[in-house]
A and B are shown apart, each in its own frame.
Chain A
Amino acid sequence: MEVLMAFIVGFLFMAATYLMLSKSLLRVIIGTAVLSHGVHLLLLTMGGLKKGAPPILNEEAASYVDPLPQALILTAIVIAFGVTSFLLVMAFRAYQELKVDDMDQMRGNDQHE
């Protein structure tokens, strides 16, 4: 299972990289969202996918899955959400001000001033 997940994570990373390298700002943001999915899945996979009870006590279970990666991922999900929404609004505002979505036209160097 872990092997399969490793490949899925790799695939998500690949897709995210590809999206982040594109010209459109929106694609870049979608790319970051995909990247965070990949990272969360990677965290979970690296914690071990052994079968066991969900980490809630009193189920009379012999073993539980590792709760620590889950706590870490939960934190990461929330932070990624905060950052993504911030980026989104920023893209929205950038479009409002500059009327472009093309990263190449947003070059900030002296040639543009």
Chain B
Amino acid sequence: MPRMTMIEAIRSALDVAMGRDDNVVVYGEDVGFFGGVFRCTQGLQQKYGVSRCFDAPISESGIVGTAIGMAAYGLRPCVEIQFADYMYPAYDQIVSEAARLRYRSSGDFTCPLVIRMPTGGGIFGGQTHSQSPEALFTHVAGLKTVVPSNPHDAKGLLIAAIEDPDPVIFLEPKRLYNGPFDGHHDRPVTAWSRHELSEVPEGHYTTPLGKAVTRRQGEAVTILAYGTMVHVALAAVEETGVDAEVIDLRTLIPLDLETIATSVARTGRCIVLHEATLTSGFGAELAALVQEHCFYHLEAPVMRVTGWDTPYPHAQEWDYFPGPARLGQALRDLVEIR
């Protein structure tokens, strides 16, 4: 089986989806001729023509707004917002329109649309190339929100998202584009080729939306993570020796509550981990659900390790990013609570 980076896996997913269904169209800023600023759409215009993969004006609301119209027509647009940090001009179209079209028209019109956006920090991206706005999507009824953590899932989830009849926000952790990253910024970058989940089938397959996966089984505590933080969690577990179970949520909405609750009911402890800011972040929802569904099994408070409640800084990147040291400390603190 070929090995792919996350970029190659995403490109392969788009290629497969476009090859299977003429209604799949791909566009966004710099997506066409150039192949995307992260190379995710490289070669697609050449292969499928300008009417299937094309460059768009710099207008996020225009990109998403036209895509909603296309989806209502019957196409399956998969559009790109260059950075998740720049989705705000499209937020009205996403929240008021894409998310509600099926509901408000009683299914008369639907919106099978995927909006891809590179997300997350750890790349010295500063305030507007590092944000993790997933909570702004999970709060919206009618949207599905997906965050892959490796090439294999990225391809399977993206094909599933494109084939899904509902609008899907597909957040791609750009720190993971070229290789896994566990938060050890002082160590050399590793390539995906050395990671088992870089083995990606060339053809069509899907990774179902709404299903989490357990990346490491453990008994002492459950760590709920997604995207880059999955790798941070695995590193911190190894370094602390705490026998933690690491769950990669993969899909935030719909959420695989069953996998989460089953795990926490067994371990009795839970840490929620995300890059996004703490207050009203998706971790708050996870903590509340765990509390509600596992109350009698909990032996300690649910903890959250997240980005600080500040804009994402530039120079202080590694004081901001919730890396393995911070998670490791939380793990040690948590297992000591009696």
A and B physically associate: no
